[in-house]
Structure 1
Amino acid sequence: MALIDIVTTTVAGLGYELVELERSAGGTLRVTIDFPWEPASEGGVERFVNVEDCERVTRQLQYTLEVEEVEYKRLEVSSPGIDRPLRNERDFERYVGEVVDLTLKAPMGAAAQGQVAANRRKFRGTLERADTGWQLTWSDEPEPAPGARVSKKKKEPATLQVLGFTLDELKEARLAPIVDFKGRKRAGVQEQGK
């Protein structure tokens, strides 16, 4: 049985899903887990992996890997973190409305029609569903510096740009690591008490 199959089966048996599996040259086995996602329309509640979840999976994997005679020096089990990789259609559905970093396999070229650099492959913007797949919406206008005074004078709204893409065109996609110490608000989740 292949290592990916062993780890996937073990993690799924405990009620989690495998996000990423990495084996380093030094013998470290890195396993990233998360709870399976169910859309809110299906009664899904957002749950987050904690230390106890990682410990539980670590203990079971240690036992399973020993039985399957898989050699490794160190096992690391963790949550996906704030820069979670997006790998499949379900991941993209889960994070609609969130800020995402994308890297395309090939530069934009002439398709951008001069709106962005022809050799640009990296983008950060808000993930949205589109008719033909997915799209990213962003503005190249810089954000004001934290603590800086923002003028109250009326000015023209920032020009938004849109990039349509399919998952086949992506080299990598991750949630943008945006830290908000007041609590990151998820798309579609309202603040309590308002």
Structure 2
Amino acid sequence: MSKGNVVKTIEEIVAPVISDVGFELVDVQYVKEGGNWYLRIFIDKPGGIGLADCQLVSERIDPLLDEKDPIPQSYLLEVSSPGLDRPLKKLADFERFTGEGIKLTTFVPVEGKRKFTGKLVHASNHSVTLESEGLNVVIPMDSLASARLISLTAAKTPASTGGS
């Protein structure tokens, strides 16, 4: 099974359990680092995630993953908060964080650039509007390679603006 299929299968297995305890599934990563495979589950809730929340989710999904056995090799399970630089993946993420600072990377240049930093102004199924360097930039959703929350204060430092 490919890494992409593993992630999709894991999402389908754990999302209902995470939702049942009142949390949101933010992201699933299945990566090999060094000689070990890691299954990383990122969860969130209003007010943030604590260690007890991560432990609760881990205790709920670990037996389920053992039962369903979607991953053939051994791996280490990690459940954590997405952190301050939370990835934005779904339209609901972009809508929720409108007005916040974000950092975007595109697959292809938009207005001559591939990296953008600024305030998220608007999001739809088709595009994201970002206020960057005093101008609004409209980026097609299908051009987005990645998007993460950032502090707007950090966005104003010279090292974090512009570039390709």
TM-score by length of 2: 0.75
State the Cα RMSD in Å.
2.4
Tell me which amino acid in the other structure corresponds to 1:33: I
Partner of 2:37: 27
Cα shift at 1:177: 5.1
**Amino acid of the residue matched to residue 23 of structure 2?**
Y
Per-residue deviation, 1:2: 2.8
Identity of aligned residues (%): 33
Is 1:168 matched with 2:161?
A: no
1:149-168 to 2 correspondences below 5 Å:
160-168=134-142
The alignment status of 1:124 with 2:90, answered yes or no, reads: no
Shift of the 130–93 alpha-carbon distance from structure 1 to 2, 3 Å rule, reads closer
Query: Which of 133, 136, 142 is residue 130 of structure 2 equivalent to?
Result: 136
How many residues were matched structurally?
A: 141
Change (3 A) 1:179 1:74: farther
Deviations 1:44-67 (A, max 9, x none): xx3211111001001111121122
User: Greater CA deviation, 67-76 or 12-21?
Assistant: 67-76
Structure 1 pair 23–177 and aligned structure 2 pair: CA distance change class (3 A): farther
CA 1:130 to 1:91, structure 2 compared with 1: closer, same or farther past 3 Å?
closer
Matched, 1:2 2:9: yes
Higher helix share: 2
Contact 1:10–1:64 (CA under 8 A) maintained in structure 2? no
- Greater CA deviation, 2-11 or 166-175? 2-11
Structure 1: gaps (5+ residues) = 36-45, 113-117, 140-159, 181-194
More deviation, 65-74/164-173: 65-74
| 1:116-148 deviation per Cα after TM superposition (whole angstroms, max 9, x unaligned) | xx3x20010011027984311122xxxxxxxxx
Distance verdict in 2 for CA 1:179–1:130, change over 3 Å:
closer
Change (3 A) 1:179 1:52: farther
Q: SS where residue 104 of structure 1 aligns?
A: strand
Which segment drifts farther, 82-91 or 22-31?
A: 22-31
Unaligned runs of 5+ in 2: 1-7, 155-164
- Structure 2 residue 67 is the aligned partner of structure 1 residue 80: no
Cα distance between partner residues in 2 of 1:128 and 1:52: 34
Query: What CA distance in whole angstroms lies between the structure 2 residues aligned with 1:12 and 1:68?
Result: 19
- Cα distance in 1 for partners of 2:77, 2:127 equals 37
Question: Who is 1:106 aligned against?
Answer: 108
Higher gyration radius (CA)? 1
How far apart are residue 27 of structure 1 and its match?
A: 2.2
1: CA distance between counterparts of 2:88 and 2:19? 19
Aligned to 2:159: none
Q: Secondary structure at the match of 2:109?
A: coil
Q: Structure 2: how far apart are the matches of 1:162 and 1:179?
A: 18
Provide the C-alpha distance between the structure 2 equivalents of 1:17 and 1:27, rounded to a whole number of angstroms.
24
Shift of the alpha carbon at 1:178?
6.2
Moved more, 71-80 or 91-100: 71-80
Paired residues of 1:87 and 1:173 also in contact (CA < 8 A): yes
Partner secondary structure for residue 105 of structure 1: strand
Residues 130 and 164, structure 1, Cα contact 8 Å, conserved in 2? no
